[in-house]
Structure formats: structure tokens, C-alpha cells
């Protein structure tokens, strides 16, 4: 798709004095999008294991009925922090890591629009991480009211609840600045000849995601500020005696929360839309429709939020409106799935590890989409809200959706980032372990929810025992499988068969015109794109 002028190795050498500084200071003070991308990815991997560890503890407690390992207050901390850290510490930073590495390379830019701001966006994450992890060690322990932080329960908690609010504020600042950086980079720094409708779809998905971030993270900030003032400044935002309303928090939170889940999936769509054409050796089917579909999904994501609140007692008109808009969002999402299948159709397909993850994504994410349609229907949602059916749904879209797309993307781009091929047979083993264990863990949860098991409970009635045991076994396998992923990544970083500029013959975006790894400063002068 792209032809570019000769690679700017010469231009890179001309800036020899700007070669990477050495040691720890390199990573602390970097203004280089590749370094910062690497930082985000390692940070997210660490957080993925931390939050994954919490999940292992959860599944250990839920292995059998009864309370064996944890008192309910500790269990509630585990579930709450698992969610919070996976969302803000693992998935979002990983996707930003991809944005950092790939966007400048894919649009032929020398770096992000604001390289120093970029570094600040990253280094705010460890600050927030320190605050969040510290909450396990303060009196009363970490927050335990769900990652959704609903009042009045949230108002009851101890010092961890204040720390968490401040940590989320810091995460918000990081995201908002990152989003501004991405928007400006994509709008202002594309190589000459790369019109918007020639941009790789991954860049489109991140552009649109950045718009969502900049619009809704501030609303989360306002909502948690109101929690803080209700806790300490005597305000009555969420207290009925003072004219406030706990449900109002839910509206504010989910106005952020729903676009947030699209923030977590759209870049994953972009990754999958890059991998499938590569290994099908065929252009992405319906590029323009894919762009319009992503834009439609983003627009619709602003008007569906109350489907998280169908049982709060809103008027019929509200329930119907949000039911219809939520169902509508299935249309552009469906278009994307069909387009991926059409890309495969009559392709020349090979099954390297990235492709396996992308293919599994399409099928498993679609299952998550179907359970979403089921949940969209209010009468059915009344039975399924706050049950394990919802837990199943969001793990299908967030784990076999976002997380598996991220894993596929890591395998896809590791050769470019490191210059080495990863171990293909281990990669495939990791894929199969992950996919099978994932389904063993989460598919039964649909049944648990249908059968009536609520979520966020440390102990359960006897009729839920068998599927819980199966889910726990699957969960332990899933967790163990990710240790293999860590091994594969570390092994590839340290060495491996040379990747060459373009290990994937079907890859055609601009980064593959650079060496593997690319020069520290690439595209110092932008290429001409035809």
C-alpha cells in the first residue's frame, strides 16, 4: 500500500550526537517514542501479572463453597483491585505502548508531537501505581466496593478510598495528556501524501480512541472529586438527606465508563485489522467502512451508558432509549467482524502466532458481543445484571478481546522492536494454552449467571459449585500460561534469529521499511507516500 522514499539512515547518522543516552537516566528522561513505548509495555506486563495474581487468589477462594482463604472484606479488595489494576494498569497502558511505538512509525513521523509530555504521561503511571499498591498496606486495606466506586458504600471506607481517588486523578491526567499527544500527532505529523483515508486502520482507531479519552476522562475526574468532597468536605452530592442522589454518581461514572470500554477495545480492533491482512496476504476488506464503523461505535458509545443501570429504577422511556441505542451499537461492530471474515475469504492464509491470536479474537470477541446483545435487552438484563453472566461478558470482550489482541500485537511487532524472531513453537503453545484455558474459565460463567449466581460474592450456594470449580481450574491454567508469555518475551528481547526488515511477507505499513530494530530516531525527514 505504501511506497516511500529511501530510508533515512543517512539522516539518522547526521544526528549521531543524539544517540541514546546510557543507563538508568535514558529511561527516566527519554523523549523518544520507542523508549517510552517500551516503558509502557513493560509497566503493563508487570501490572498484568500483579492483577492476574489477585485473580488467582479470587479463583482459589471460589474453588469451593465456604470461606477457606479470605474474609469477605479481603475478598472484596481482591475483586475490586483486580478490576481497577487490569483496566488502568494493564490494558490501557499496553495499548498506549503500542500507540507510542507504532503511530509515528506508521505515519512516517520522527516522534510524537509532544515528546516530553509523552514521557510525563508514562512516568505518572508508576506514581499512581505506588499509590494504588500502597492501599493494600494502609489501615483498613485497599478499596473494596468494586472498581465502579459507587457511593454510599464508597463514602464508608477508610484512607485507601482517598488514596485511590488521587491515584485515579493522576491516571486521568496521564491519559488526557497522552490523548492530546496522539490527536495532535495524527492530525499534524503524517508524512506528505498520507491523507487520512490512507492511514493504517490502527492509526484511525487510536485517533478516535484519543477523542473519547479527552472527552470522558475529565467527567470521571469530576465524579470522583464529588466522592472526595462527600467524604471529607461535608457535601451531599450523593446523600439523599441533603438532596443528593447515589444514582447520579452512576450516571456520571458510566458516562465515562461506557466510552472507557470502547477506549479499551478500539485500538485492539486496529491491531487485529493490521494482523489479519498481513497473514491473509490480502488488503483489509472495506477500509472506508471500517473507518466509519469505528467512528459510529465511538459516537454511539456516548449514548448507551445507562445500560449498566437498568435495575436502578429509571423510567420506562429511559430503559427503552438505552436499550435501543445499545442494540444499535451491534450494527457497526458486526460490520467489522464481517469485514475481517471477508478479508480472510480467498486469501492466502498462514497461521503464525500473531494470526492465531487475531483469529481467536474475532471468534471470541464475537461471543462477547452476543452476550452483550443479550444483556442489552432490558427484561433479560433484569435477570442478569450483577451476576456472573456480566463477568463472563466483559471477560470475553476484554480478555479474549483486548488482552489477546495485545498479545497478538506483541508477537507481531516484537521482531520489529527487538530485531529478533520470537520462538514460534513456544508462541503457538502459549496461544493454545491461553485460548483453551480462557474458555474453560469464562464460558461456564455464562451458566452461573443464568443460574442465579450474583457477582462480587466470596462464597456461593451449592448449586453453583461445579461450574465454579471448573472455572477455577481453568483460571489457574490461564495464569500459569502467561508465565510462558513472559519467558517468550524476555527470551526474544535477549536474542533470537535475526528478523530482518520485514519478517512477515504480507506486511505493508511504513514501519516495515525501517530496519529491525529501527534507528533510535527514524523518519527524521518524513518519507513521501504514494
Partner 1 sequence: MRIANYADLRANSCALRRLAGRRFFALLSGLVVTLAPALARAEYRMNLAAPATGLAKEVYDLHNLIVWICFAIFVVVFVPMVVALVYHRKSTGHQPSAFRDNHKVEIIWTVIPALILVGMAWPATRLVIAMKDTSKEELTVKVTGLQWKWEYEYLGDDIRFMSNMSTPQEQIAGTQAKGEHYLLEVDRPLVVPTGRKIRLVLTASDVIHSWWVPALGVKQDAIPGFIRDTWFTVDKPGTYRGQCAELCGIGHGFMPTVVKALAPDEFAAWRAEQKVAMAAAVAVPGKIYNMAELKTIGEKVYTTNCLACHQASGAGMPPAFPPLLGSKIIKGDKAGHIDMVVHGKPGTAMAAFGKQLSDLDIAAVVTYERNHWTNAIGDVVQPDEVATRRK
Partner 2 sequence: MHEHATPEVYYVPPPSIWPLVGSVALLTLAAGFVLLLNKVAAGPWIMALGAGIFGVMLFGWFGAVIRESLAGKYSAQVDTSFRWGMAWFIFSELAFFLGFFGALFYARIITVPSLAEAQLLWPGFAASWPTAGPGLKTALTPVSAWGLPALNTLILLTSGATVTWAHWGLQKGRQTQLKLGLALTVVLGVIFVSLQIYEYAEAEFSIRDGIYGATFYMLTGFHGFHVILGTVMLAVIFFRAWAGHFTPGHHFAFEAVAWYWHFVDVIWLLLFVLVYWL
Contacts to partner 1 from residues 134-173, by CB under 8 A: 139-140, 144-146, 150-153, 156, 158
**Is the CB of 30 or the CB of 274 nearer to partner 1?**
274
Segment 192 to 231, residues that bind partner 2, using CB under 8 A: 214-223, 225-226, 228-229, 231
DSSP β-bridge partners for residue 498: 420
231 is catalytic: no
Asked if residue 347 binds partner 1 (CB under 8 A), the reply is: yes
- The values of phi and psi at residue 208, to 5°, are -70, -40
| Catalytic residue selected from 111, 162, 352, 511 | 111
CA angle 127, 20, 499 (to 5 degrees): 100
Asked if residue 528 binds partner 2 (CB under 8 A), the reply is: no
Asked if residue 483 binds partner 1 (CB under 8 A), the reply is: no
Shortest distance, position 107 Cβ to partner 2, whole Å: 12
Per the CB < 8 A criterion, the answer to whether 36 and 122 are in contact is yes
Q: How far apart are CA 48 and CA 471, in angstroms?
A: 19
| Catalytic residue selected from 198, 231, 251, 455 | 455
Buried b (16+ CB within 10 A) or exposed e, 123-140: bbbeebbebbbebeeeee
Segment 362 to 391, residues that bind partner 2, using CB under 8 A: none
- Select from partner 2, partner 1, none the partner in contact with residue 515, using the beta carbon and a kind-dependent cut-off of 5 to 8 Å: none
Q: Which long-range contacts (CB under 8 A, 24 or more apart) does 305-308 make?
A: 305/251, 305/254, 305/255, 305/257, 305/258, 306/251, 306/254, 307/258, 307/375, 307/376, 307/381, 308/250, 308/254, 308/257, 308/258
Segment 505 to 524, residues that bind partner 2, using CB under 8 A: 521, 524
Give 145-162 as a DSSP string.
STTTT-TTHHHH--HHHH
Asked if residue 31 binds partner 2 (CB under 8 A), the reply is: yes
- The values of phi and psi at residue 121, to 5°, are -55, -40
**Is the CB of 344 or the CB of 410 nearer to partner 1?**
344
Which member of 214, 228, 484, 497 binds partner 1 (CB under 8 A)? 497
Which member of 107, 344, 392, 492 binds partner 1 (CB under 8 A)? 344
CA distances (Å), origin 483, targets 64, 412, 426? 25, 19, 12
**DSSP letter assigned to residue 422:** -
| Catalytic residue selected from 59, 282, 307, 395 | 307
Which member of 127, 380, 493, 524 binds partner 1 (CB under 8 A)? 380
308 is catalytic: yes
The contacts of residue 46 (CB under 8 Å, 6+ apart) are: none
Asked if residue 71 binds partner 1 (CB under 8 A), the reply is: yes
Compute CA 249 distance to the chain's CA centroid, rounded to the nearest angstrom. Answer: 24
Segment 96 to 155, residues that bind partner 2, using CB under 8 A: 109-111, 113-117, 119-120, 122-124, 126-127, 130-131
Segment 407 to 466, residues that bind partner 1, using CB under 8 A: 421, 424-425, 428-429, 432-433, 436, 440, 447, 450-452, 454-463, 465-466
Binding flags for partner 1, 282-321, as an x/- string (CB under 8 A) = xxxxxxxx---------------------xxx-xx--xx-
**DSSP letter assigned to residue 463:** G
Asked if residue 280 binds partner 1 (CB under 8 A), the reply is: yes
522 is catalytic: no
232 is catalytic: no
| Catalytic residue selected from 147, 340, 388, 412 | 147
Catalytic amino acids? 82, 111, 147, 174-175, 258, 260, 262, 273, 307-308, 333, 336, 455
Amino acid at each position: 500500500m505504501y511506497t516511500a522514499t529511501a530510508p533515512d539512515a543517512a539522516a539518522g547518522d547526521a544526528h549521531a550526537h543524539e544517540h541514546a543516552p546510557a543507563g538508568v537516566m535514558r529511561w527516566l528522561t527519554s523523549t523518544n517514542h520507542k523508549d517510552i513505548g517500551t516503558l509502557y509495555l513493560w509497566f503493563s506486563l508487570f501490572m498484568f501479572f500483579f492483577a492476574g495474581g489477585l485473580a488467582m487468589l479470587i479463583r482459589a477462594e471460589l474453588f469451593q463453597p465456604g470461606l477457606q482463604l479470605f474474609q469477605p472484606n479481603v475478598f472484596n479488595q481482591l475483586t475490586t483491585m483486580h478490576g481497577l489494576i487490569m483496566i488502568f494498569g494493564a490494558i490501557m497502558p499496553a495499548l498506549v505502548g503500542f500507540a507510542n511505538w507504532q503511530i509515528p512509525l506508521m505515519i512516517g513521523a520522527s516522534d510524537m508531537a509532544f515528546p516530553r509530555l509523552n514521557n510525563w504521561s508514562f512516568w505518572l503511571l508508576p506514581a499512581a501505581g505506588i499509590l494504588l499498591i500502597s492501599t493494600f498496606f494502609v489501615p483498613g486495606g485497599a478499596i473494596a466496593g468494586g472498581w465502579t466506586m459507587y457511593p454510599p458504600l464508597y463514602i464508608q471506607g477508610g484512607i485507601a478510598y482517598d488514596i485511590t481517588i488521587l491515584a485515579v486523578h493522576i491516571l486521568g491526567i496521564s491519559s488526557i495528556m497522552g490523548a492530546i499527544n496522539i490527536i495532535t500527532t495524527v492530525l499534524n505529523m503524517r508524512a506528505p501524501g498520507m491523507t487520512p483515508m490512507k492511514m493504517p486502520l490502527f492509526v484511525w482507531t487510536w485517533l478516535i480512541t484519543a477523542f473519547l479519552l479527552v472527552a470522558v476522562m475529565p467527567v470521571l475526574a469530576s465524579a470522583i472529586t464529588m466522592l472526595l468532597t462527600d467524604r471529607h468536605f461535608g457535601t451531599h452530592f450523593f446523600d439523599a438527606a441533603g438532596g443528593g442522589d447515589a444514582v447520579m454518581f452512576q450516571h456520571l461514572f458510566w458516562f465515562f465508563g461506557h466510552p472507557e470500554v470502547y477506549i479499551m477495545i478500539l485500538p485492539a480492533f486496529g491491531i487485529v485489522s493490521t494482523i489479519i491482512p498481513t497473514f491473509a496476504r490480502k488488503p483489509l476488506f472495506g477500509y472506508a467502512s471500517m473507518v466509519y464503523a469505528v467512528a459510529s461505535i465511538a459516537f454511539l458509545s456516548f449514548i448507551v451508558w445507562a445500560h449498566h443501570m437498568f435495575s436502578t429504577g429509571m423510567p420506562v422511556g429511559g430503559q427503552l432509549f438505552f436499550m435501543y441505542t445499545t442494540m444499535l451499537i451491534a450494527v457497526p461492530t458486526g460490520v467489522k467482524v464481517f469485514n475481517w471474515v471477508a478479508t480472510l475469504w480467498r486469501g492466502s492464509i498462514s497461521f503464525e502466532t500473531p494470526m492465531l491470536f487475531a483469529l481467536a479474537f474475532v471468534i471470541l470477541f464475537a461471543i462477547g458481543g452476543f452476550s452483550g446483545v443479550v444483556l442489552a435487552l432490558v427484561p433479560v438484563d433484569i435477570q442478569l445484571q450483577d451476576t456472573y453472566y456480566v463477568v463472563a461478558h466483559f471477560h470475553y470482550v476484554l480478555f479474549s478481546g483486548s488482552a489477546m489482541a495485545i498479545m497478538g500485537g506483541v508477537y507481531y511487532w516484537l521482531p520489529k522492536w527487538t530485531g529478533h524472531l520470537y520462538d514460534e513453537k513456544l508462541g503457538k503453545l502459549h496461544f493454545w494454552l491461553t485460548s483453551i484455558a480462557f474458555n474453560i474459565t469464562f464460558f461456564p460463567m455464562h451458566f452461573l449467571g443464568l443460574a442465579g449466581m450474583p457477582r462480587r460474592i466470596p462464597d456461593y450456594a451449592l448449586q453453583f459449585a461445579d461450574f465454579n470449580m471448573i472455572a477455577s481450574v481453568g483460571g489457574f491454567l490461564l495464569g500459569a500460561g502467561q508465565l510462558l508469555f513472559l519467558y517468550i518475551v524476555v527470551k526474544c528481547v535477549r536474542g533470537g534469529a535475526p528478523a530482518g526488515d520485514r519478517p512477515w511477507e504480507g506486511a505493508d505499513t511504513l514501519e516495515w521499511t525501517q530496519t529491525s530494530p529501527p534507528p533510535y530516531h527514524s523518519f527524521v525527514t518524513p518519507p513521501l507516500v504514494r
